[in-house]
Amino acid sequence: MSLSFLDAAYEILKIENRPLSSKDIALKAIKVGILKTKGKTPGVSINVCLHTDIYNKGVRNNYWEFYQKRMRLSDDKILRSVHKHEREIKAFLNGKLPGDTGYEQICQWIHFCYLLEMYWEGKELFKMLSEDEIPEGPYNWAKKLAEACELKVRT
């Protein structure tokens, strides 16, 4: 059974009961079989998912208590991570990051943009995806998010 990135991260953090990097969380989740992915950077996926979830839900987030007690992440560290992803997205859109960034990363960035109300960036990222080059599921998910971003940009 494969869990979502968030659920897999939470299970691994509960089991380990100690701070782990996102990369280590991903490797352990894949090793025990609770996370299946074809992506090259599952650690990045977990990192973005966790930080986005905490950013959006704050103290209501399932992971927040764990972070506060065990990882001792401050709001400042979380916000620095969010801003780092924001800078990466803007650099990518300005052609300052490698053009071979995978579709999974771009789809995650689109989701991140939508959640953080970076609507223009979300719709622009979608233009970089090719329907013929990625699986239907991720493409349709990114397309719905990009359409929502487009509507928000217009209003």
Q: Give the pTM.
A: 0.55
In angstroms, what CA-CA distances link 127 with 42, 79, 120? Answer: 23, 27, 11
Q: What is the DSSP string of 132-144?
A: TTS-HHHHHHHHH
What average pLDDT does the segment 96-125 reach?
Answer: 86
> Please, how many CA atoms are within 13 Å of residue 128, restricted to the half-sphere of its CB?
23
Percent of the chain exceeding pLDDT 70 equals 82
> Please, how many CA atoms are within 13 Å of residue 78, restricted to the half-sphere of its CB?
20
| Whole-number Å distance between alpha carbons of 27 and 144 | 30
What average pLDDT does the segment 48-69 reach?
Answer: 62
Q: Where in the chain are the domains?
A: 1-73, 79-155
Give the ranges where 58-135 is alpha helix by DSSP (H). Answer: 62-66, 75-93, 103-115, 119-126
Q: Which residue has the higher pLDDT, 119 or 6?
A: 119
CB 43 within 8 A of CB 12: no
Token pair belonging to 141 = 């998910």
| pLDDT score of 13 | 82
The per-residue pLDDT for range 126-136, each reduced to its tens digit, is 999 989 988 88
The per-residue pLDDT for range 4-37, each reduced to its tens digit, is 888 888 888 888 877 777 888 889 999 999 999 8
